[in-house]
Amino acid sequence: MSYPICFEKDCLRLSRLAAFVVALTSLTAVSHTYAQAGAPPQPPPVPAAPGNVAGETPAAVVRDPAADANLLYYAAQGDLTKFQRFLQRGGSVQEARRQDGKTVLMLAANRGSLPIVQLALKENADVNAADKIGMSALMLASRAGHAAIVAELIKSGASVENKNVNGMTALSLAVQAQKPEVVSQLLAGSASVATKDNWGNTPLMLAASGDPGIVQSLLKAGADVKARNSIGKTALGIAVAKKNEGAAAQLRAAGGFE
């Protein structure tokens, strides 16, 4: 018959002590291994998202909170490279708008950046969207005299008859700004010469104080030389008041009167 070499409590203490020694030995070995390696092992790197820009985190590529604001800024600047960069980061040409209501397409059209206009249209920008005063991309491009952009917008379905808060169409704005090439494009796109703004002025009346060449283009397109505005003025009456002899001569030759 054998007897235990220790009492029950003493045996339990010895057992716990042995377990502690084993654990301590293992920990020492692991620490020694890390020291030799220089550092504990690191988790694998997160793979870069598609289209990642070198040196940037995947999170910035997936969605940059400022992407829309940057799209608007670089559209206004006409910077195609940076515009494309923020488009790739999730910027939306459909949703991005400034506080004044201007979209990416409007800003690019006003700036005269045909490449950004074309890219925005490719990304399904609303070609007939208007800002808070009713100005569309076509109106802005027309007023600024960007003929190539006007042609691109018309080809993409821009309405030539939409009006801003003053009742002015793209043609009215182009005439007022004296942009003859744009006027010709809008007339070729079937823009109405009979349209009137909030004061009853037709494009011909707006032209009467400016470029005689535009007056001639409007007359050829069928503009009514006898129409009167809200205060009873005809195109000839306006030309005479502004001492625009070239325009006045054309209007008289077309049957105009004061």
Could you list the mean pLDDT of each consecutive 10-residue stretch along the chain, which spans 258 residues? 45 50 50 46 38 37 72 95 92 93 97 97 97 98 98 98 98 98 96 98 97 97 97 97 95 92
Residue 200: Cβ within 10 Å count: 15
> CATH no. for residue 104?
1.25.40.20
Name residue, tokens 């670089």: 74
Whether 243 is in a domain gets the answer yes
Whether 187 is in a domain gets the answer no
Whether 44 is in a domain gets the answer no
Whether 97 is in a domain gets the answer yes
Report the pLDDT value the prediction gives residue 236, as an integer from 0 to 100.
97
How far the first Cα of the chain sits from its last, in Å, is 140
| Closest to 246 measured CA to CA, from 199, 203, 207 | 207
Asked if 203 and 159 sit in the same domain, the reply is no
Give the structural domain span for 212.
Answer: 193-258
Whether 48 is in a domain gets the answer no
The three-state secondary structure class of 97 is: strand
Entry pTM: 0.75
Asked if 139 and 205 sit in the same domain, the reply is no
The count of domains in the chain is: 2
Asked if 242 and 157 sit in the same domain, the reply is no
Whether 87 is in a domain gets the answer yes
